[in-house]
């Protein structure tokens, strides 16, 4: 197991991302968010875009897992879809690179094998984002460093759950001999504990830490619900 993954055993990874249409978009803002997450005990940061990766690396002392979300016409794959995004993340100094490892066709006919090969050549750990057990097993067979449940609920053939896909966490952790990371819709601390108990090597939490609009929504919904019954 790569040293970076050894260092993440039973740890929290904070995903600090804000897309261009989000209020906190901007590398300097995400660098501060990542610093706050580090102060709160996160052991690594997952970040989107070469600028964010650079800014975050300059402000924290924990590893940074880089992705580039980029949409291409004719493909549903948007997390680090091609070799170009891998090259940009290598250039930015990402300590690990995460990418869509679903079976969906990639833009420009890019091959999963080639992306993984490039990361291997560069000596950078790879994190395969999958949506099903079959995809997890396939990614592991291609020699990735770890697999993450990131995309369960985001492909049209995976279960569309409100909470985390703990069944996939448990099944993939039992089946794989490489680390399985639990990621996606983990909103409460007890779910972190649950995922680790089911065999996850580490847990990624995103929106519940770094997307204030999502956090606020949960509270405002509670207020609205209470108001409805109180006014009735």
Ligand X SMILES: CC(=O)N[C@H](C=O)[C@@H](O)[C@H](O)[C@H](O)COP(=O)(O)O
Three-state SS string over 59-90 comes to HCCCCEEEECECCCCCCCCCECCCHHHHHHHH
Smallest separation, CB 93 to ligand X (Å): 18
Cα separation, 219 vs 148, in Å, equals: 29
Smallest separation, CB 147 to ligand X (Å): 13
> Which one, 38 or 100, has the nearer CB to ligand X?
100
Smallest separation, CB 17 to ligand X (Å): 5
> Which one, 15 or 132, has the nearer CB to ligand X?
15
> Which one, 70 or 84, has the nearer CB to ligand X?
70
- For helices 166-175 and 189-197, what crossing angle results, to 10°? 30
DSSP track, 115-145: HHHHHHHHT-EEEEE-SSHHHHHHHHHTT-S
> Which one, 218 or 227, has the nearer CB to ligand X?
218
Smallest separation, CB 183 to ligand X (Å): 5
Binding residues vs ligand X (CB under 6 A): 15, 17, 46, 67, 79, 150-151, 154, 183-186, 204-208
> Which one, 134 or 188, has the nearer CB to ligand X?
188
Cα separation, 157 vs 141, in Å, equals: 21
Name the residue number minimizing CB distance to ligand X. 206
Smallest separation, CB 103 to ligand X (Å): 16
Cα separation, 69 vs 183, in Å, equals: 16
Cα separation, 115 vs 127, in Å, equals: 11
Radius of gyration of the chain (CA): 17
> Which one, 112 or 203, has the nearer CB to ligand X?
203
E strand intervals along the chain: 11-16, 44-48, 64-67, 96-100, 125-129, 146-148, 180-183, 202-205
Smallest separation, CB 208 to ligand X (Å): 6
């Amino acid at each position: 197991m790569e040293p970076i993954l050894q260092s993440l055993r039973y740890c929290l990874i904070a995903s600090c991302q804000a897309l261009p249409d989000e209020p906190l978009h901007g590398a300097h803002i995400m660098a501060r968010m990542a610093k706050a997450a580090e102060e709160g005990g996160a052991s690594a940061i997952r970040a989107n875009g070469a600028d964010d990766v650079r800014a975050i690396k300059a402000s924290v002392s924990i590893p940074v897992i880089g992705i580039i979300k980029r949409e291409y016409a004719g493909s549903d794959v948007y997390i680090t879809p091609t070799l170009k995004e891998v090259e940009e993340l290598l250039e930015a100094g990402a300590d690990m690179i995460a990418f869509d490892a679903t079976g969906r066709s990639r833009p420009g006919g890019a091959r999963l094998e080639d992306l993984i090969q490039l990361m291997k050549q560069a000596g950078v750990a790879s994190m395969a984002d999958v949506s099903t057990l079959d995809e997890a097993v396939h990614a592991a067979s291609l020699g990735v460093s770890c697999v993450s449940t990131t995309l369960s609920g985001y492909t049209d053939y995976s279960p569309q759950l409100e909470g985390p896909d703990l069944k996939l966490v448990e099944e993939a952790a039992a089946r794989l001999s490489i680390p399985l990371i639990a990621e996606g819709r983990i909103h409460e601390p007890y779910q972190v504990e649950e995922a680790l108990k089911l065999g996850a090597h580490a847990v990624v939490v995103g929106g519940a830490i770094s997307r204030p609009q999502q956090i606020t929504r949960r509270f405002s919904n509670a207020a609205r619900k209470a108001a409805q019954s109180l006014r009735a």
